[in-house]
Structure 1
Amino acid sequence: MRINAMQFQAGLSMSEFFASYGTAAKSYRAVYKWWWPQGFRCPCCAGRAWCCDLLPTQRLPSSDQSDDGTMFEGTKLPPRTRMPALHLLTSTKTNMAALELMRHLGGNYKSAWRMKHKIMQVMAEREATRRLSGFVQIDATFTAPSYVVIEPVRSFDNASLKDWTAHRLARECEVYTDGLACFRRLEDAGHAHTTLDTGGGRAATEAAGDRWVNVVLGNLKRAIGGVYHAITQGKYARRYLAEAAYRFNRRFQLRELLPRLTKAMMQCKPCPESVLRAASNFHN
């Protein structure tokens, strides 16, 4: 296999991880630094000290206090357990099932499942606003993609494509697709559209215009099928796809994944188990 510098870049090794975040105190200091990189500012008066007008729940939380208002709200896992979970799910080359996460972290399966789905929910929320611009390929591409959007749609019909296009494509993109009938509506939305006729069968997957999209989708299918074996597609498919897209779209800066995801976990609203299990597959 040809060596690709991006694939072989150094990530955050386990020894480096434990040296930097191996204790509760180190984990808490890291989160504090990522949350306030320029130093603490009071949300009430913008001062360096705490304002007396703040409610107790608005004050700087200690490592033993709750995480009200963040995705960590309600979790019983301490910081020294959360940080390894975030690291494992961002540093893995493929995917990691909740059962394997449980074996790494200890504890029970339900706690591992909730943590994994909260992390995937944050990944989905971060990817939900991504819009592709410039040269865009849908089901067909000529070069290795820089960014991807992977999510389920309700149907391959005109209404679903119109909704997805408005949400995911910047204006006046140049779009390349296969011959699916609904893709003809891309021109109505103001996009330059080229249809690639590659035929069918195995030869179509190896054609010049289809190679890289099939590499991405093939890797995705192997990762999901090999690790999870089966997922509840009607409820959770969007999260699992967002997990893959989140890591793919940030693959150029592996060492930044942990602080970026941790900060995102603090920025996102709470998501209790009842909400996690009632998830919708679709962006709208």
Structure 2
Amino acid sequence: MSINAVQFQAGLSMPEFFASYGTEAKCYRALYKWRWPQGFRCPVCAGRVRSRFKRGAAIYYQCSACRHQTSLIAGTMFEGTKLPLRTWMLALHLLTSTKTNMAALELMRHLGVNYKTAWRMKHKIMQVMAERESMRKLAGFVQIDDAYLGGERNGGKAGRGSENKQAFLIAVQTDATFTAPRFVVIEPVRSFDNTSLQDWIARRLAPECEVYTDGLACLRRLEDAGHAHTTLDTGGGRAATETAGVDSPQFNAS
């Protein structure tokens, strides 16, 4: 049986995590490097020279040029927190490395905080992730498929155009070999009409992508937007691996 390379890709084990982020000092240094990779930069005037001082237990930086005072966590998701950075880092690791969703109750047990705190931490992290991903544009090689998901009512039309389900576009950015997914966008759309598709393409695809679809008619808008568009013959639901005698990626966006 073949091994799924995505499922078996290397991750960050708990011993490795604690080796890198097991103390407050390690978490502080890591966050400093992420926020200011080229050294301190004033958020007001972009000045680089600063002084450092403490106010209670908190560390602050004052820009030597404009005198603005800031901290490492100011303007971040950690601003105003009373929790140690190592607790936040562990929450981030747990929520982003688990294959299935982690409940706030389980997060509470791992972090040693109360349920209300765990719930707020989880939802703040999820909100930040959603805001970050809302700006993502897929580039290079992209596979796109349509789907209808959800719905509690029985009856009505099945499949495409169902009035009981929400229309979604599912897009996967891969490498040139089509074996390593990079990013995924799963987004609801009003319908698969020209207006909805044009809006989605403008927001979600970088210029000049190489796009592969199963030939849904409305996806011809991809070509109008300047993207190379290859239609794969799925053979009535089974993905094709060859089109017109030329090797093509297996269509498996969904």
> Which letter does structure 2 place at the counterpart of 1:97?
A
Tell me which amino acid in the other structure corresponds to 2:88.
R
SS at match of 2:186: coil
- The equivalent of 1:150 in structure 2 is 186
| Equivalences, count | 205
Conservation of the 8 A alpha-carbon contact between 2:24 and 2:86: yes
Quick one: distance in 1 between partners of 2:144 and 2:218?
A: 12
Aligned to 1:230: none
- Residue identity opposite 1:46 in structure 2: R
Residue by residue, what CA displacement relative to the aligned partner does 1:24-72 show, whole Å, maximum 9, x if unpaired?
33322332333333443555442143336534xx3335xxxxx442222
Identity value in percent? 73
Picking from 37, 43, 49, the partner of 1:47 is 49
Using the alignment, how far apart are the partners of 2:250 and 2:101 within structure 1? 23
Give the CA deviation at 1:187. Answer: 2.9
CA contact (8 A) 1:144 1:212 kept: no
Contact 1:174 1:193 in 2 (8 A): yes
| Secondary structure, aligned partner of 1:32 | helix
Tell me which amino acid in the other structure corresponds to 1:21. Answer: Y
- Structure 1: gaps (5+ residues): 62-66, 218-284
1:101 offset after TM fit, Å? 1.8
2:71 to 60, 65, 75: 60
Higher helix proportion (structure 1 or 2)? 1
TM-score by length of 1: 0.58
Q: Any unmatched runs of 5+ in structure 2?
A: 52-61, 147-171, 242-247
Which structure ranks higher in relative contact order (CA pairs < 8 Å, sequence separation ≥ 6)? Answer: 1
Match of 1:213 in 2: 252
Output one character per residue of 1:50-97: Cα deviation in whole Å (capped at 9) or x when no partner: 336534xx3335xxxxx4422223444332310100111233344433
Corresponding residue number in structure 2 for 1:112: 118
Per the TM alignment, residue 167 of structure 1 is displaced from its structure 2 partner at its CA by: 1.4
Secondary structure of 2:126's partner? helix
Hey, what does 2:83 align to over in structure 1? 77
Q: Is the 8 A contact 1:156 1:182 kept in 2?
A: yes
Question: Bigger radius of gyration, 1 or 2?
Answer: 2
Q: How big is the shift at 1:159?
A: 1.2
* TM-score (norm: length of structure 2): 0.64
Post-superposition offset of 1:165: 0.6
Q: Relative to 1, partners in 2 of residues 1:85 and 1:51: Cα closer, same or farther, differing over 3 Å? A: same
